Amino acid sequence: MKKSLFDVETPSGHEDRVLSAVAGELAARREKTRASRRHWILGLLGGAGGLVAASYAGLLYFRGPGAGAAAEDDLFLAKEIEETDADLELLADVPLDEAEDFDRFLEDLELLEEEDV
Amino acid sequence: MSDRDDEALLRQIAKGDSKAFESLLRAHKRAVFGLAYHLTGSKMTAEDISQETWIRVVKNAESFKGESARAWILTIARNLSLNELRRGKWEAELPPEDEGRLVSDAFSFDELMQTESDLKRVQSALTRLPDRQRVALVLFLSEERTYAQIGAELELDVNAVKALLFRARENLKKMMAEAS
């Protein structure tokens, strides 16, 4: 009985007027929620970005000595190629008959070696 | 609607959910309007107070931590109504001769309201009571507040509150007798 005593029919249009009165505040709440979500996502992306950057930095750090060794290998190979080229140039300078003699010398040497065996 | 449902709606309202607000409004708008109407005695003032109550519900939804959302919402409506009365036309009427006449602790509206039509007549008569009598009666009946609590709201001692309630009941009886 007490409850129904204070339960009164609202005037016509009451609900619409209340909804209109709170519309601005509800919109402000939604914007605040969206901004908070954006902030959270940006924070997450920033964290992920930081993690990737840290991982890459770590990779570079640990790859350092290996990379150095590869570079040394490259240097050695280049030097070898250079020396081979120089040998070929020297050989090209040797007169043909001498070169033939040299070939014969090598063949003789191989024969000797075979005989030794 | 249960208190838990109301609490869930308030959480959604705090995020700006219009549908959740509509559900809460539909569940409690009559009680909010009814309390404001009976406290202020004016439908126009009750309409303004109802709107302000719901705006405050939205603004403070995220800070709600009470047991009952309904009680919380009605407390906002009650405080706004009392502030409105204090600001304006609060009637100071309490003749000294009435102070000795105390209402019994078993004060009840049940004796006045036997049928549905009695309810409507009491509702109508309530709004015609002088402000202090009406407010004391509404606080006493709607929220089951003690004499001391009502006295704190109206800045009166306990005996004066009892006298107000006694006079309110006598006036209601008279109005209802005239109406029937």
The dihedral through the CA atoms of B60, B61, B63, B67 has a sign that is positive
CA separation (Å) from B153 to A71, A106, B33, B136, B148? 88, 124, 20, 9, 9
Q: Is A27 on the interface with B (CB under 8 A)?
A: yes
Task: For B96, list phi and psi in degrees, rounded to 5.
Answer: -55, -35
pLDDT of B46 above 60: yes
Q: Is A86 on the interface with B (CB under 8 A)?
A: no
Q: Distance, in angstroms, between B119 CA and closest chain A CA? A: 7
Say which residue, B116 or B61, is predicted with more confidence: B61
Q: Is A30 on the interface with B (CB under 8 A)?
A: yes
Are A25 and B55 within 8 A, CB to CB?
yes
Q: Distance, in angstroms, between A31 CA and closest chain B CA? A: 8
Task: For B167, list phi and psi in degrees, rounded to 5.
Answer: -65, -35
Are A14 and B14 within 8 A, CB to CB?
no
Q: Is A88 on the interface with B (CB under 8 A)?
A: no
Q: What percent of chain A has pLDDT over 90?
A: 17
Q: Confidence band (pLDDT; 50, 70, 90) for B97?
A: very low
Among the listed residues B148, B172, B167, B168, the one whose alpha carbon sits nearest the alpha carbon of residue B159: B148
Mean pLDDT, range B82-104, rounded to an integer: 57
pLDDT of A113 above 50: yes
Look at residue B95 in the predicted model and tell me its pLDDT: 44
CA distance B134 to B78: 13
Radius of gyration of chain B (CA): 18
The H-assigned helical ranges of chain A are 2-5, 14-93, 96-116
In our burial notation (b when 16+ CB lie closer than 10 A, e otherwise), range B77-110 reads bbebbbebbeeeeeeeebeeebbeeebeeeeebe
Look at residue B98 in the predicted model and tell me its pLDDT: 45
CA distance A18 to B73: 14
Residue of A nearest to B11 (CA): A29
Contact B152, B161 (CB under 8 A): no
Q: How do residues A43-78 score in pLDDT, each as one tens digit?
A: 878 787 778 888 877 776 666 655 556 666 776 777
Mean pLDDT computed over every residue of chain A: 74
DSSP conformation class of A9: P
CA distance B106 to B119: 19
Are B29 and A5 within 8 A, CB to CB?
no
Mean pLDDT, range B102-115, rounded to an integer: 54
> Which two structure tokens, joined as six digits, stand for B156?
């009166």
Any residues with CB less than 8 A from the CB of B132 and at least 6 apart, and which?
B90, B91, B92, B93, B94, B154, B164
Q: How do residues B27-38 score in pLDDT, each as one tens digit?
A: 999 999 999 998
Which single residue is written with the structure tokens 């006598």? Answer: B170
Mean pLDDT, range A19-27, rounded to an integer: 93
Report the length, in residues, of chain A: 117
Q: What percent of chain A has pLDDT over 70?
A: 59
Q: Distance, in angstroms, between A65 CA and closest chain B CA? A: 54
Residue of A nearest to B10 (CA): A26
Any residues with CB less than 8 A from the CB of A36 and at least 6 apart, and which?
none
